Amino acid sequence: MASNIKGFSKWTKEEKLKWIATTYFSDATEVVPLIKTYWNSDEDLQKLHDEFIENTITNFYLPFGVAPNFVINDRNYTLPMVIEESSVVAAASKSAKFWLERGGFKASVLDVEKIGQVHFIYKGDFKKLARFIDSIQNQFFSDTELLTQNMRKRGGGILKIELRDKTLALENYYQLHVTFDTKDSMGANFINTCLEQIAATLKEQVLVYTEFNEVERELAVVMSILSNYVPNCCVRASVSCAVADLASSEIANPEEFVAKFIQAVRIAEVEPFRAVTHNKGIMNGVDALVLATGNDFRAVEAGVHAYAARNGSYSSLSHAKVEDGIFTFWLDLPLALGTVGGLTSLHPMVKIALKLLGNPNAEDLMKIVAVAGLAQNFAALKSLTTTGIQQGHMKMHLKNILNQFKATDDERKNAVLHFEKNIVSHAAVVELLESLRK
Ligand code: MEV
């Protein structure tokens, strides 16, 4: 068992690694060199990665793949995708190709507002509070002027500071609900810095507001923080074509296909158990792009799922319809993304990913990410409502199983041939390898 340690963060990387290995592993002499094989031989590059977080002992690889043939608003893209799930990039590429031949994807940004809040407790007359907040509106803006200067130059900044009465939900609870435009940055640091200044102004001004009595002057700020719920920082992605044009080698009867496809979407709209998996499929595409471009996937995940439940029940993020013989499939996603700041200017692979996308601004990245989600959802629903998901999924997973059993090149060739005609399963691969190895 590990004993409590002090000052761990100050130890060298070697010391930390040695401690981890000897405390938690019986085969420390093997574990340390294995972990070290993931260190980069370029010391500057390694140092850069070490310093992203505290207590780094090594790097953790995820594949960086690409999905070509995406046409978005008539422009061709190859999407960078960071993901470990074997079938995701293949599904994205397949979807891209399918829609490339049918006019491509369309995407548009609906709005770009982000939210931050100063939460506070106030025990007094609401009207008086409202007058007070009104009276210090200009002060809020002038006290944050220096902080917002650069953002304002880029056309963003603080848009609105509203007082919200939340006392029906929680006794004496109010908030300053602040709306921001952070342009091409995700804006978390900018928003939080502004909010802390707004809270400081609030605390300062409360002490000198002559209309307040002693109890009212005890107004207490609980916390100041951005919200990752961004329903007004939203993008729409869609595909559309005549039903008959959906015919392909895999879709013999487009009418039947569309009817079943729309049924599948309806099920996800009304059934939360299905909606969660349906949306997970969307997030396969979204997260892969969000990670590749150095954005905060936890923030995106939290915001997207809150949005999926905005009407009181968790529901599908995508929708489908047929009108006048035209099939339309679309998706609205709240996405707070950045293409400047944060990891975007630090991580060499993030820079490559952004370059691959033509160095998009935040709005263009929102469109691309939403399209990746829609493409993934289309591929999943197409498989689910036709062949079933496992056929494609297990074909992609075959390589992982072969790797697990350290298959030789000959065994791999044999396996690929064999599973062209047979169903892939873990047991079937083991059986084949055993028979080949006899
Ligand atoms: C697997 O990662 C994603 C799917 O389950 C999504 C879905 O069911 O729609 C295939």
- For 117-172, write each residue's pLDDT tens digit: 999 999 999 999 999 999 999 999 999 999 999 999 999 999 999 999 999 999 99
Distance CA 369, CA 367 (A): 6
What separation in Å is there between the alpha carbon of 270 and the centre of ligand 1?
17
Say if ligand 1 is within 6 A of residue 389 CB.
yes
Average pLDDT over every residue of 409-422: 90
Q: Is the pLDDT of residue 396 over 80?
A: no
> Three-class SS of residue 252?
coil
- Reported as a pLDDT band with limits 50, 70 and 90, residue 387 is confident
296 assigned to active site: yes
Q: Is the pLDDT of residue 2 over 70?
A: no
Number of the ligand 1 atom closest to the C-alpha atom of 377: 9
Q: Which fold has domain 64-109+234-387?
A: 3.90.770
CB 110 within 8 A of CB 234: yes
Lowest mean pLDDT among 3-7, 138-142, 251-255: 3-7
11 alpha-carbon distance from chain centroid: 33
The secondary element (H helix, E strand) that includes residue 329 is strand 326-334
Q: Is the pLDDT of residue 8 over 80?
A: yes
What separation in Å is there between the alpha carbon of 292 and the centre of ligand 1?
21
Average pLDDT over every residue of 406-429: 90
Say if ligand 1 is within 6 A of residue 277 CB.
yes
Q: Model's pTM, two decimal places?
A: 0.92
Say if ligand 1 is within 6 A of residue 397 CB.
no
276-293: b (≥16 Cβ within 10 Å) or e: eebbebbbbbbbbbbbbb
Distance CA 422, CA 333 (A): 39
Q: Is the pLDDT of residue 113 over 70?
A: yes
> Three-class SS of residue 127?
helix
Say if ligand 1 is within 6 A of residue 87 CB.
no
Number of the ligand 1 atom closest to the C-alpha atom of 381: 9
First CA to last CA distance, the chain: 44
Q: Is the pLDDT of residue 56 over 80?
A: yes
pLDDT digits (tens, 9 = 90+) for 298-325: 999 999 999 999 999 999 999 999 999 9
Percentage with pLDDT > 70 across the chain: 100
CB 280 within 8 A of CB 389: no
Q: Is the pLDDT of residue 93 over 70?
A: yes
What is residue 392's predicted lDDT score, i.e. its pLDDT?
72
Lowest mean pLDDT among 59-63, 100-104, 354-358, 424-428: 424-428
85 assigned to active site: yes
What is residue 395's predicted lDDT score, i.e. its pLDDT?
78
CB 117 within 8 A of CB 224: yes
Say if ligand 1 is within 6 A of residue 284 CB.
yes
Q: Is the pLDDT of residue 422 over 90?
A: no
pLDDT digits (tens, 9 = 90+) for 178-187: 999 999 999 9
What is residue 434's predicted lDDT score, i.e. its pLDDT?
93
* Residue 272: Cβ within 10 Å count: 14
Dihedral, CA of residue 374, residue 378, residue 379 and residue 384, to nearest 10? 140
What is residue 1's predicted lDDT score, i.e. its pLDDT?
61
Q: Whose CA is nearest to atom 7 of ligand 1?
A: 278
- Reported as a pLDDT band with limits 50, 70 and 90, residue 271 is very high
HEC letters along 165-225: ECCCCCCCEEEEEEEEECCCECCHHHHHHHHHHHHHHHHHHHHHCCCCCCCHHHCEEEEEE
Report the chain's mean pLDDT, rounded to a whole number. Answer: 96
Please tell me which residue in 143, 296, 363, 364 is annotated as part of the active site: 296
347 assigned to active site: no
What is residue 215's predicted lDDT score, i.e. its pLDDT?
97
What is residue 164's predicted lDDT score, i.e. its pLDDT?
98
Average pLDDT over every residue of 14-22: 95
Q: Is the pLDDT of residue 4 over 90?
A: no
Q: Which fold has domain 114-226?
A: Alpha-Beta Plaits (3.30.70)
393 assigned to active site: yes
Please tell me which residue in 280, 305, 395, 418 is annotated as part of the active site: 280
What separation in Å is there between the alpha carbon of 286 and the centre of ligand 1?
13
